[in-house]
Structure 1
Amino acid sequence: MIKKLLVLTVVSLSVLIPCTSQNINAASEWDNAVTVYGAALESDTGLQEQTADLLGASDSDIIDYVYSEDVSQYVNQNYDNSVLMSSIRIQQTSEGSGLNINIDESLGNITMISEETYQNALLTSGITDADVTIAAAQDVTGESALAGVYKAYAAQGEEIDPEKTQNAQDELDAISDITNENSNVEGFTQVQLNKVITEVKVEIINNFNGDVSEEQIRSILDEKLAENGLEGLLSQEQIDRLVEIFNSIKDSGIFTGEEAQRLVDSSEDLLNRITSSDSFQDAKDSASELGRDIADSEEVNSFMEALRNFWDRIVEFFRGLF
């Protein structure tokens, strides 16, 4: 692996040296947070008040509702207003602060989507710096929560690229479906799959500058599945579905340009969150018992950091010459 990375570094230097640095448009911190309730709460004051407490809503928040037409527009899903109960509160923060997701399940559970899955999907949509709380006063699947986030941006006069929101929803659906399909497969957990998906994104940006073929995506995905104890556990159809999603994400442009580094930074925050979670430690222990050890990426991460620093010094040297 290290030999491969060194070769990639040498080859890529010929591409990077003549490039000039680009200005990155920092995320603009909002003056007010936005709270978006599911449409079912609009006529149920009591349920809305309970949900507001869970979300930590403030009197200064911009208030809106997510309706069936919003869910259809933003995530291409069809739900009746009466079942839309999951709600969100979001505050966009300054660049570099990272994406923080919190699910409050003290009154109602989000039954299908984990915090890490939401975070992965929102990163794919281009949201990298924000504090997001998701909650419902009754048990809900949580599938419409992303629509609430996008509705919040619309309430602030900002629009998220529809191509990216569709990619994010496709990713969320795939993670949920693959998790459900593998619910009885020993050695599989959603937290492992989220780690794989996050690591694939980071490698595509860091080692390939976002320019990857479908064959390379498959190779990266196979490598990450093996490193995370999932080799041979996903069906070919499931792998093909993930490859197609990564291809679509690549085509959206988020792996290159000014968004790429923000995505890497927030993705690395997500990886730290995953690997420090109890669910990941449980998955790691279970994988070890099955002889499917999850690779310790600490050494690889240290090498990658050293490699990036070395790379930056060489690029700056040649820029100085020219």
Structure 2
Amino acid sequence: MIRKILAIALVAAMIPFGAQNANAASEWDNAVTVYGAALEQDSNLQNETANLLGVEDTDITDYVYSEDVNQYINKSYDNSVLKSSIRIIQTAEGSGLNIDINEDMGQILLISEETYQNALLTSGITDADVTIAAAQDVTGESALAGVYKAFEAQGEAIDPKKTQNAQDELETITDISEENSNVEGFSQVQLNKVITEVKVEIVNNFNGDVTEEQVRTIVDEKLAENGLDGMLSQQQIDRIIVIIMNIKDSGLFTGEEADRLVDSSKDLLDRITSSDSFQDAKDKATELGKDIVNSEEASSFMDSLRSFWERIVEFFKGLF
């Protein structure tokens, strides 16, 4: 473990800083409501869903169809099953990404608020208020397509590489969570925390420029810090590595876009660590003889260690 930490610190000290410009998010005057296609011919269901979403008369309204789902997330669904609906308004830069799932009538069966938030951050959406709802129980898998359709309705483009990465991330988190649903001590909230912390670590300490081996080391460290060491199979870990490398290749970890990602990720981490489900996960980890490391303490230690190795590197540079 110590050798891994030293390796990360030494590599971080020697990687040069890079930058990439990105356009800041533009604040919207009006929210956009996007209903699932199944609601277009069912006014009662649409009205019930509108109440759940908090729709206002000034909202721009649209529908997400099977072709949209195929375009944005590369999935095939018949219009009749598309009932997940969303309401979104893009807010001022720095305001953060807020996700609310209204389950007063129908449940989102597979995907948590934290998983949606992680995926949307990966797609490059960092400052917005998003409500997701359905008047009947749904899996919630098509909700992201509705968010992207909303940006189209506002005349703004979303990078298709980023939307595919976001969908891959969402599916990986939900798949791993389902596969480990009977594993004592595992929870989806811990997995979301791991993936969020991996992203932040890559931006803050590697300036977005990492190798697959370095990502694998970071993932292993974050799994251990969150009490998930030894719970995931190698195949599951490999899926996470692929996602992170694809996100890295999309350019999300560099430039101004990376700064916004880190800021919004901090909000997500605060939300996770203050949740009842995360406290339950900490309690279960303690029962199993594991520990969930305080992220701020771990970060402070890493910063101190990195500073130490930077001084050593500069010392040896001076000898030559």
Report if TM-score (shorter chain) is over 0.5. yes
* CA apart distance, 1:233: 0.6
- CA distance in 2 between counterparts of 1:182 and 1:308 reads 35
Q: Which moved more, 1:23-32 or 1:123-132?
A: 23-32
Secondary structure at the counterpart of residue 46 of structure 1: helix
Q: In the alignment, is the contact (CA less than 8 A) between 2:161 and 2:250 conserved in 1?
A: yes
RMSD over equivalenced CA pairs, Å = 2.0
> In the alignment, which residue of structure 2 is the partner of 1:34?
32
Q: Deviations over 1:82-126 (max 9, x none)?
A: 111010000000110000000000100000000000000000000
Aligned to 2:174, which of 173, 176, 188? 176
Q: In the alignment, is the contact (CA less than 8 A) between 1:26 and 1:94 conserved in 2?
A: no
1:33 to 1:308, Cα distance in 2 relative to 1, 3 A: farther
* CA apart distance, 1:305: 8.0
1:144 aligns with 2:147: no
> In the alignment, which residue of structure 2 is the partner of 1:257?
255
- CA distance in 1 between counterparts of 2:25 and 2:303 reads 25
| Number of residue pairs aligned between Structure 1 and Structure 2 | 304
Secondary structure at the counterpart of residue 136 of structure 2: coil
- CA distance in 2 between counterparts of 1:85 and 1:22 reads 38
- CA distance in 2 between counterparts of 1:290 and 1:166 reads 36
Aligned residue type for 2:155: G
Aligned residue type for 1:222: D
Q: Deviations over 1:52-83 (max 9, x none)?
A: 11101100000000001111110011111111
Percent identical residues = 74
Secondary structure at the counterpart of residue 118 of structure 1: helix
> In the alignment, which residue of structure 2 is the partner of 1:315?
none
1:274 aligns with 2:272: yes
1:8 to 1:155, Cα distance in 2 relative to 1, 3 A: same
- CA distance in 2 between counterparts of 1:249 and 1:262 reads 15
> In the alignment, which residue of structure 2 is the partner of 1:193?
191
* CA apart distance, 1:258: 1.9
* CA apart distance, 1:302: 4.7
* CA apart distance, 1:295: 1.1
1:264 to 1:70, Cα distance in 2 relative to 1, 3 A: same
- CA distance in 1 between counterparts of 2:272 and 2:153 reads 31
Aligned residue type for 2:148: Y
* CA apart distance, 1:26: 2.5
Q: Which moved more, 1:127-136 or 1:300-309?
A: 300-309
Aligned to 2:163, which of 160, 165, 177? 165
1:255 to 1:159, Cα distance in 2 relative to 1, 3 A: same
1:202 to 1:240, Cα distance in 2 relative to 1, 3 A: same
- CA distance in 2 between counterparts of 1:120 and 1:76 reads 19
* CA apart distance, 1:31: 0.8
Aligned residue type for 1:84: L
> In the alignment, which residue of structure 2 is the partner of 1:235?
233
Give unpaired runs (5+ residues) of structure 2. 308-320
Aligned to 2:73, which of 49, 72, 75? 75
Q: Give the number of the structure with larger relative contact order, counting CA–CA contacts within 8 Å between residues 6 or more apart.
A: 2
Secondary structure at the counterpart of residue 89 of structure 1: strand
Aligned residue type for 1:275: T
1:308 to 1:97, Cα distance in 2 relative to 1, 3 A: farther
Give unpaired runs (5+ residues) of structure 1. 310-322
> In the alignment, which residue of structure 2 is the partner of 1:11?
14
Q: In the alignment, is the contact (CA less than 8 A) between 1:112 and 1:142 conserved in 2?
A: yes
> In the alignment, which residue of structure 2 is the partner of 1:60?
58
Aligned residue type for 2:286: S
* CA apart distance, 1:27: 1.3
1:75 to 1:296, Cα distance in 2 relative to 1, 3 A: same
Q: In the alignment, is the contact (CA less than 8 A) between 1:8 and 1:207 conserved in 2?
A: no
Aligned residue type for 1:11: M
- CA distance in 2 between counterparts of 1:306 and 1:3 reads 11
Aligned residue type for 1:55: L
- CA distance in 1 between counterparts of 2:223 and 2:135 reads 36
Aligned residue type for 2:80: S
